């Protein structure tokens, strides 16, 4: 059967649809599970708009369809309505009765705004409903209110935004043709060919991307930064950097990436690196936050998907070369932000550069802390005025090593400049750190909390020690 999720998968990629139908997709990451859980939690609030609707979410496939048909005849609104027509099937979040045989469709999405991909989702549901002889009066989206700020018990009317998207849903065309094409793919024994496109990353990164993109040449066009140009090349079937015609004018950064990659040489601008280094003042506070976020806020004075800091690492480097390490990791028993702020306030002095890597993240966290806890605002403003971004030379490609593979993340820069890497870490990225903390400390659904805490501390400490080592190497190569 062509379900709603498979229809959406087909719009993204036929190969993805084929694997999705056979349940052969890679296992979801722990971070994905945090997002899924957030969606389910948000649904419980959105459904409160329909107190008289019958909730069929607990019924299995066949019982759900049977009960849905009964309730439609009785003209009763339904939560999780199962509708089947020939080989088409949908399970609608809310099917609201208006009058006679006229209904409204509601889609619940734990996003903070409406998205283009929401329209075909509802359009397919409307298509199946109309095949069954129903009249769909309106299509609506229920999404998170990005401006909601928790203060005590949550009022669903403040958390949920209702948007009429009927006109945009009605503009979606080709549903019948697409549905037949997707059914052909589902019924085919042959795996569809790999097609690399923008859909590989949008609206979400495809779980098959790494496998499909592994077929690309190692020195490929996606190392470049000008995405408009590399997608144009992709559409022309050009994937290898060495095949780029000399007449194609590349932006300076991309020209450097291409030259460094093909010649396997390091590119650097000592002048720019020196200028950056001259702006840094001792003592240097190498600093990094770890955060988690949820669709529905867990703590007062927080908003949907706000990054809640639960950990930090701080290496304080004096001009003499002396380095001291500080760290904080919340227990998970309460809002972590208060104790974190109180401890950090004693460890970061009032003078000297606060060095972060990709400063926009830390700046955003600090700004939220200043808004949520105004008693700390003066001190936080001092911190914000002193933050500098160690990623600057790499974002601007004033230093580039082919080992970075077109990227400037600390995970790529560290092994390119030093002998250190994240390869042997039990926690090797911020997404895993966030999800493991959430499920072991907040939800308390994962065992081994002691080991997880040890791994979290090692991971976050490496983030700031990596900054110490990267800065050291920049000072050396600038001489």
How far, in Å, CA of 111 to CA of 160, rounded?
10
The closest alpha carbon to 303, from 143, 153, 147, belongs to 147
Contacts with 322 (C-beta within 8 Å, 6 or more apart), sequence order: none
β-strands 78-85, 54-55 pairing? parallel
Residues forming beta bridges with residue 152, ordered by sequence position: none
User: Could you report the per-residue pLDDT of 196-234, keeping only the tens digit for each?
Assistant: 999 999 999 999 999 999 999 999 999 999 999 999 999
pTM, 2 dp: 0.94
CB atoms within 10 A of CB 211: 13
Domain residue spans in the chain? 4-187, 217-258, 266-479
Residue at token pair 């419980």: 44
**What are the two backbone dihedrals, phi and then psi, of residue 354, each rounded to the nearest 5 degrees?**
-105, 110
Residues forming beta bridges with residue 317, ordered by sequence position: 284, 323
Give the model's pLDDT for residue 333: 86
Please tell me whether residue 349 adopts helix, strand or coil conformation. Answer: coil
Give the model's pLDDT for residue 456: 98
Q: 266-479 architecture in CATH? A: 2-Layer Sandwich (3.30)
pLDDT below 50 — which residues of the chain? none
Contacts with 213 (C-beta within 8 Å, 6 or more apart), sequence order: 196, 200, 222
User: Could you report the per-residue pLDDT of 67-97, keeping only the tens digit for each?
Assistant: 999 999 999 999 999 999 999 999 999 999 9
Residue 106 burial by CB count (10 A; 0-12/13-18/19+): exposed, middle or buried? buried
**What are the two backbone dihedrals, phi and then psi, of residue 343, each rounded to the nearest 5 degrees?**
-70, -45
Residue 207 burial by CB count (10 A; 0-12/13-18/19+): exposed, middle or buried? middle
User: Could you report the per-residue pLDDT of 188-198, keeping only the tens digit for each?
Assistant: 999 999 999 99
**Encoding tokens for residue 178?**
């697409």
Class assignment of domain 4-187? alpha beta
How far, in Å, CA of 47 to CA of 66, rounded?
21
The closest alpha carbon to 309, from 329, 291, 322, belongs to 291
> Under a CB-based contact definition with an 8 Å cutoff, are residues 206 and 13 in contact?
yes
């Amino acid at each position: 059967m062509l379900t709603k999720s498979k229809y959406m998968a087909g719009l993204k990629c036929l190969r993805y649809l084929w694997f999705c139908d056979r349940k052969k997709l890679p296992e979801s990451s722990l971070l994905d599970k945090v997002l899924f859980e957030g969606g389910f939690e948000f649904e419980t609030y959105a459904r409160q708009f329909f107190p008289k609707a019958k909730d069929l979410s607990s019924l299995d496939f066949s019982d759900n369809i049977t009960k849905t048909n009964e309730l439609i005849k009785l003209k009763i609104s339904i939560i999780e309505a199962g509708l089947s027509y020939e080989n088409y099937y949908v399970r609608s979040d809310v099917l609201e009765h208006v009058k006679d045989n006229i209904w409204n469709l509601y889609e619940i999405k734990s996003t903070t705004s409406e998205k283009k991909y929401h329209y075909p989702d509802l359009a397919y549901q409307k298509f199946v409903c109309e095949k069954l002889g129903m009249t769909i009066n309106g299509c609506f989206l229920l999404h998170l209110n990005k401006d909601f700020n928790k203060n005590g018990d949550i009022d669903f009317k403040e958390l949920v935004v209702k948007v009429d998207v009927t006109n945009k849903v009605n503009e979606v065309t080709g549903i019948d043709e697409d549905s037949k094409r997707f059914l052909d793919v589902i019924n085919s024994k042959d795996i569809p060919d790999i097609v690399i496109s923008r859909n590989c990353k949008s609206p979400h990164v495809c779980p098959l991307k790494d496998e499909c993109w592994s077929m690309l040449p190692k020195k490929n066009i996606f190392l470049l930064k000008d995405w408009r140009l590399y997608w144009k090349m992709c559409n022309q079937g050009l994937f290898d950097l060495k095949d780029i015609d000399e007449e194609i004018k590349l932006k300076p950064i991309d020209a450097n990436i291409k030259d460094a990659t093909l010649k396997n040489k390091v590119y650097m601008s000592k002048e720019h690196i020196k200028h950056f280094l001259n702006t840094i003042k001792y003592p240097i506070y190498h600093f990094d936050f770890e955060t988690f976020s949820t669709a529905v806020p867990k703590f007062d004075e927080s908003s949907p998907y706000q990054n809640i800091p639960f950990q930090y690492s701080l290496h304080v480097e004096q001009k003499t070369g002396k380095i001291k390490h500080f760290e904080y990791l919340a227990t998970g028993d309460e809002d972590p932000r208060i104790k974190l702020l109180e401890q950090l306030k004693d460890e970061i002095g009032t003078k000297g550069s606060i060095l972060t890597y990709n400063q926009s993240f830390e700046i955003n966290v600090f700004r939220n802390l200043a808004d949520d806890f105004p008693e700390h605002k003066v001190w936080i403003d001092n911190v914000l005025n002193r933050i500098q971004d160690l990623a600057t030379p790499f974002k601007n490609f004033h230093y580039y090593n082919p080992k970075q593979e077109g990227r400037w993340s600390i995970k790529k820069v560290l092994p390119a400049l030093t002998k250190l890497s994240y390869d042997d870490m039990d926690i090797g990225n911020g997404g895993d750190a966030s999800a493991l903390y959430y499920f072991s400390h907040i939800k308390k659904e994962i065992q081994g909390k002691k080991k997880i805490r040890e791994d979290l501390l090692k991971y976050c400490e490496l983030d700031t020690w990596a900054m110490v080592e990267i800065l050291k190497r920049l000072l050396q190569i600038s001489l």
